[in-house]
């Protein structure tokens, strides 16, 4: 781990390249020869045995290489996470809006995982579940490899109760019930654009219990309890009901990318999470201190 970031790795594929830098330039055209030469000069590209690789190192199919992702410019996220709980096995964090969970795309240092690894000097820290970058609230991390599977299995067996809150328009009379709470089910599949989901006819594979907490003018604060964990499930379900979440840039229509504009956070909050601890048998309840 370097500066909170674990190295990325790649198994070298079938092919013929005269040297290592020729392969890297073809594989990652967005990174210049000067950048690779600088990284290699710092000893930050190595093989599986830890031997430093240089620009002229031989290319060998099947070899595994390790390197660190670096960005020339990364947008600072001016919002901060809060640690709600920690013990030998778990770390529970209250995530702000706009902060990505893990490194990827245009974010490496400005991610929740990297921030926490640096703060706690914990190379084994791993998220047990995830929240969208746009969503705030409670998220749980594993601190130990040995106990990680016990907690991951809770989510796989759907033995974790997650409660969200969302601000959205009032649900009007029509094809949908007005008696709360009610359960909404649909079949969700990947959309034509890789980052979106959509509904289609067929056997439902997603389920959310929807209730009203309070009315706020033309909006309502809804309580949402997903019984399944499909990507963007809550956002898709409320949009399908005609009440898209306030400031949702994906549903019902994908809007132009807002880039670094952080003035309109998605009004979706992972309010609480409940489960029985698989190690101690004790009930666990963690709740966000944020509000919409």
> Mind listing the pLDDT tens digit for each residue in 16-70?
999 999 999 999 998 999 999 999 999 999 999 999 999 999 999 999 999 988 8
pLDDT value for 256: 83
Listed in sequence order, the residues at least 6 apart from 283 whose beta carbon sits closer than 8 Å to its beta carbon are 274, 275, 276, 277
Distance of CA 207 to the CA centre of its chain: 20
Q: Is the dihedral of CA 144, 147, 153, 158 positive or negative?
A: negative
Q: Are 234 and 164 in contact (CB under 8 A)?
A: yes
Question: Quick one: pLDDT at residue 177?
Answer: 58
Structural contact between residues 265 and 240, judged by C-beta atoms closer than 8 angstroms: no
pLDDT digits (tens, 9 = 90+) for 202-214: 999 999 999 999 9
State yes or no: pLDDT of 269 exceeds 80.
yes
Angle at the Cα of 231 from the Cα atoms of 225 and 232, rounded to 5 degrees: 65
In this predicted structure, what is the pLDDT of residue 81? Answer: 98
Is residue 63 helix, strand or coil? coil
Query: What rounded mean pLDDT belongs to the chain?
Result: 94
Instruction: Give CA–CA dist 235/223, Å, rounded.
Output: 13
Residue from 127, 117, 124, 116 nearest 80 by CA: 116
Say if residue 280's pLDDT is above 90: yes
| pLDDT-based confidence at residue 255 (cuts at 50, 70, 90) | confident
Query: pLDDT tens across 130-179, in order?
Result: 999 999 999 999 999 999 999 999 999 999 999 999 999 998 766 565 68
Please tell me the predicted confidence (pLDDT) of residue 172: 78
How sure is the predictor about 257, in pLDDT bands with cuts at 50, 70 and 90? confident
CB 255 within 8 A of CB 264: no
Q: How far apart are CA 83 and CA 65, in angstroms?
A: 35
Which residues are annotated as catalytic? 132
pTM: 0.88
pLDDT of residue 104 exceeding 90 = no
Is a pLDDT exceeding 90 seen at residue 183? Answer: yes
Q: What are residue 184's DSSP bridge partners? A: 208
Identify the pLDDT of residue 174. 61
Task: Give me the pLDDT at residue 176, please.
Answer: 60
Inter-helix orientation angle 33-41/20-27, to 10°: 130
Phi first, then psi, for residue 58 (nearest 5°) are: -70, 145
**pLDDT given for residue 178 in this prediction:** 67
Percentage of the chain lying above the pLDDT 70 cut: 98
CB burial class (10 A; 0-12, 13-18, 19+) of residue 147?
Answer: middle
C-alpha atoms less than 13 angstroms from C-alpha of 35 in its C-beta half-sphere: 13
Q: How far apart, in whole angstroms, are the C-alpha atoms of residue 17 and residue 32?
A: 17
Q: How far apart are CA 52 and CA 134, in angstroms?
A: 39
- The CB-based long-range contact list for 209-212 (8 Å cut-off, 24+ gap) reads 209/181, 209/182, 209/183, 210/180, 210/181, 210/182, 210/183, 210/184, 210/237, 210/238, 210/241, 211/180, 211/181, 212/180
* Model pLDDT, residue 73: 84
pLDDT above 80: residue 259: no
d(CA 63, CA 175): 58
Structure token digits, residue 288: 């966000």
Q: Is the dihedral of CA 117, 120, 126, 128 positive or negative?
A: negative
């Amino acid at each position: 781990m370097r500066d909170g970031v674990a190295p990325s790795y790649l198994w070298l594929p079938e092919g013929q390249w005269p040297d290592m830098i020729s392969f890297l330039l073809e594989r990652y055209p967005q990174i210049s020869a000067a950048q690779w030469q600088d990284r290699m000069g710092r000893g930050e590209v190595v093989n599986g045995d830890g031997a430093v690789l240089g620009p002229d190192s031989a290319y060998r199919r099947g070899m595994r290489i390790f390197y660190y992702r670096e960005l020339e410019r990364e947008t600072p996220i001016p919002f901060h996470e809060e640690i709600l709980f920690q013990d030998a096995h778990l770390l529970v964090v209250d995530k702000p809006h706009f902060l990505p969970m893990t490194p990827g795309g245009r974010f490496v240092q400005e991610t929740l995982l990297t921030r926490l690894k640096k703060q706690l000097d914990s190379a084994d820290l791993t998220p047990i579940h995830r929240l969208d970058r746009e969503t705030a609230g409670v998220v749980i991390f594993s601190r130990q490899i040995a106990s990680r599977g016990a907690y991951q299995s809770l989510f796989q067996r759907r033995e974790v109760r997650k409660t969200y809150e969302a601000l959205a328009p009032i649900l009007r009379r029509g094809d949908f019930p007005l008696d709360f709470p009610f359960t909404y089910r649909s079949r969700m599949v990947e959309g034509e654009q890789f980052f979106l989901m959509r509904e289609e006819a067929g056997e439902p594979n997603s389920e959310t219990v929807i209730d009203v907490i309070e009315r706020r003018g033309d909006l309502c604060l809804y309580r949402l309890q997903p019984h399944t964990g499909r990507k963007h499930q809550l956002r898709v379900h409320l949009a399908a009901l005609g009440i898209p979440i306030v400031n949702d840039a994906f549903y019902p229509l994908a809007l132009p990318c807002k880039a670094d504009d952080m003035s309109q956070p998605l009004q979706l909050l992972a309010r609480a999470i409940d489960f029985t601890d698989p190690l101690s048998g004790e009930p666990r309840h963690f709740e966000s201190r944020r509000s919409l």
